[in-house]
Amino acid sequence: MLKQNLHTHSIYCDGKDTPAETAETAAAVGFSVLGFSGHGTAFCDTASMSEKNTQLYISEVRRLKEEYRGRMEIFLGVEEDIIQRIPDRSPYDFVIGSCHFIRKNGQIWPLDYSREVFVQILEAFDNDFIMLAEAYYSSVRSMKDFAEIDFIGHLDLLTKYNEDESFVRFDDPAYVRCACDTIDALQNIPFEVNTGAIARGYRRTPYPYANLLKYMQEKGVRILLNSDCHDRTKLECAFPETLSLIRKCGFRSMLKMTDHGFEEADLGEFLDAYNL
């Protein structure tokens, strides 16, 4: 049985808990692998780690790696936003590549701040969701040249407030083309399946949406499951339901983190942890 989460935030950026508190919870519920992924410093992101907090974060996670050795594998990661890449990959066991911001009319907009801000972003794109999607996915595709990235975070983040399809239908051909072109461009890089918007009450379904997840399976894209945890009480939010979706989409394996890097693990190892 295998429980794993590699997308975990803490008080050093915009999480609620210390790494030590989250590690304690993870061990108590039987996690095998826990990876922390603080937001790398970004000039436009008040939620990102300061230089001081980055050093404190690195120090605490390294201490926890030793404290839990033999009981639970702990890894030190970082979530890099493409708007400001991390200056040094060497301290980290893994790097998540994500796009949280979009540039338009000389302004930088946070895509996942609130529904109200998202409406303002859409207005800046002439209320044309496809125009916004083309700009967003063009930015995401730039990560194909980022050698430091180990996997892509929350691919379709711009649909965070679209669970009711009030902005776009998830099967809109023009939208699906934008997303699938991006999957094609990045298919040699793994993608996460991310339940973070479920944990925070914005969606009932994970990123990426089921049709995109199925496309990934058809293209042979490697995946891993993460909760994008900001609150340790939701560390494994919607994992059973999402694992069932992953199986339904045809996946037979997912990636697990080891001391030797990422390795393929049979999906059954993850399913067994939730008696699926």
Predicted pLDDT at 267: 98
- pLDDT, residue 30, reads 98
Dihedral angle computed from the Cα positions of residues 262, 264, 265 and 268, in that order, rounded to the nearest 10 degrees? 140
Which pLDDT does position 49 carry in this prediction? 98
Q: Which of 39, 112, 118, 25 is nearest to 79 (CA)?
A: 39
Q: How far is CA 168 from CA 86, 133, 164, 205, 246, in A?
A: 33, 10, 9, 16, 23
Residue 235 burial (C-beta neighbours within 10 Å; 0-12, 13-18, 19+) = buried
From the list 88, 3, 84, the residue with the least C-alpha distance to 42 is: 84
SS (H, E, C) 242-253: HHHHHHHCCCCE
Domain residue spans of the chain: 4-272
Residue 155: closest CA among 202, 95, 103, 216:
216
Q: Which residues of the chain have pLDDT under 70?
A: none
SS3 percent helix, strand, coil of the chain, rounded to 5, is 35, 20, 40
Q: How many residues belong to the chain?
A: 276
Who's near 80: CB < 8 A, 6+ residues apart? 40, 86, 95, 96, 97, 98, 146, 148, 149
Domain covering 4-272 assigned CATH 3.40.50.720 in the classification: no
